[in-house]
Amino acid sequence: MKIGFIGTGNMGGALAKAVAAALGGECLYLADANVEKAAALAGALGASLVNNDYVAAECDFVFLGVKPQMLEALLAELTPTLAQREMAPVLVSMAAGVSIDKVAAWIGVECPIIRIMPNTPVAVGEGTVLYSLSPSVTEAEREVFCAVLSAAGRLCRMPEKLLDAGTAVSGCGPAFVCLFIEALADGGVECGLPRQQAMELAVQTVLGTARQLQATESHPGALKDGVCSPGGSTIAGVHALEAGGFRSLAMDAVCAAYERTQELGK
């Protein structure tokens, strides 16, 4: 099986690393307008450096890792090569705000299309990859796709109409979580902790709490209750967060991100 990437920048590169971690570099074929960038990644992963045309002609899965505004021109360039293939490859588009219908119209030849929305933690194998399928993607192709990205983190299939909502949580969420971590650490510094130690504590606390939630499948409210002893310090802190509208603000952040995602996709 050959897995090709056209565009090996921040996100294409991170996903290519995940593919190499799952399947090894031998099945990976990398192309980028910036040849040195693709060459460096290919060298690091044991992958092959190729050009766009090779990926379109030979690969079974073609990951499209260019910016959304570059995608239409790239697909127009690939169409003649794709049209000559006996078996169409699966196209995997990560372009934010670009629908499956648009990709299909731009490519002009019949190909199964998977639209994905990864987030930045895929770079460390702890990402979330939302995905939607065009009707022509077979169950066998979906299973291979899941195996190919298994080292990226969690894969979550959803109808395309929910992708913007999912993006507002998992795509934009890392920025919201980073703000919270930074604020936790700032609070620690204000209380006298050295900066580095405050940051380590804040990061580990968010990581550990998330892992505990995943492992126990508990409701966050139940875990919170477990930490709050009557008349204690934690409930005093929770009161301060509630007084500042913390939860309402977090919901507003997701809703604002959702509305902006929808605007940008028009």
Ligand X SMILES: NC(=O)c1ccc[n+]([C@@H]2O[C@H](COP(=O)([O-])OP(=O)(O)OC[C@H]3O[C@@H](n4cnc5c(N)ncnc54)[C@H](OP(=O)(O)O)[C@@H]3O)[C@@H](O)[C@H]2O)c1
Please report, as residue ranges, which positions from 183 to 242 form the binding site for ligand X (by CB under 6 A): none
The number of beta carbons lying within 10 Å of the beta carbon of residue 232 is: 11
Question: Applying CB under 6 A, does 68 fall inside the site for ligand X?
Answer: yes
> DSSP assignment, residue 59?
-
| Among residues 24, 34, 105, 197, the one that binds ligand X under rule CB under 6 A | 34
Nearer residue to ligand X within complex by CB, 175 or 241? 175
- Tell me how far, at minimum, the Cβ of 71 lies from ligand X, in Å: 7
Task: Give the pairing of strands 127-133 and 113-118.
Answer: antiparallel
Please report, as residue ranges, which positions from 148 to 187 form the binding site for ligand X (by CB under 6 A): 171
- Tell me how far, at minimum, the Cβ of 237 lies from ligand X, in Å: 32
Nearer residue to ligand X within complex by CB, 67 or 219? 67
- Tell me how far, at minimum, the Cβ of 170 lies from ligand X, in Å: 10
- Tell me how far, at minimum, the Cβ of 135 lies from ligand X, in Å: 23
192 vs 201: CA distance, rounded Å: 13
> DSSP assignment, residue 86?
S
The distance between the two most distant Cα atoms of the chain, rounded to a whole number of Å, is 72
Contact 2, 58 (CB under 8 A): yes
Nearer residue to ligand X within complex by CB, 73 or 256? 73
Nearer residue to ligand X within complex by CB, 96 or 228? 96
Nearer residue to ligand X within complex by CB, 132 or 198? 132
Please report, as residue ranges, which positions from 111 to 150 form the binding site for ligand X (by CB under 6 A): 117-118, 120
Query: For ligand X, which residue has the nearest CB?
Result: 9
Tally the C-alpha atoms within 13 A of residue 27's C-alpha that lie toward its C-beta: 16
- Tell me how far, at minimum, the Cβ of 24 lies from ligand X, in Å: 23
Please report, as residue ranges, which positions from 35 to 64 form the binding site for ligand X (by CB under 6 A): 37, 52
Contact 163, 264 (CB under 8 A): no
Separation in Å, CA 151 to CA 15, 122, 157, 265: 9, 8, 16, 29
- Tell me how far, at minimum, the Cβ of 239 lies from ligand X, in Å: 36
Nearer residue to ligand X within complex by CB, 31 or 104? 31
Q: The tokens of 231 are what?
A: 């008349």
Q: Which residues pair with 131 in a beta bridge?
A: 116, 157
What's phi and psi for 124, nearest 5 deg? -115, 20
Nearer residue to ligand X within complex by CB, 165 or 184? 165
| Among residues 16, 27, 49, 65, the one that binds ligand X under rule CB under 6 A | 65
Angle between the N-to-C axes of helices 220-227 and 195-216, in degrees from 0 to 180, rounded to the nearest 10: 130
Separation in Å, CA 162 to CA 52, 129, 138, 166, 169: 31, 13, 21, 6, 11
The residue ranges that bind ligand X (CB under 6 A) are 6-7, 9-12, 31-34, 37, 52, 65-68, 70, 74, 94-96, 117-118, 120, 171
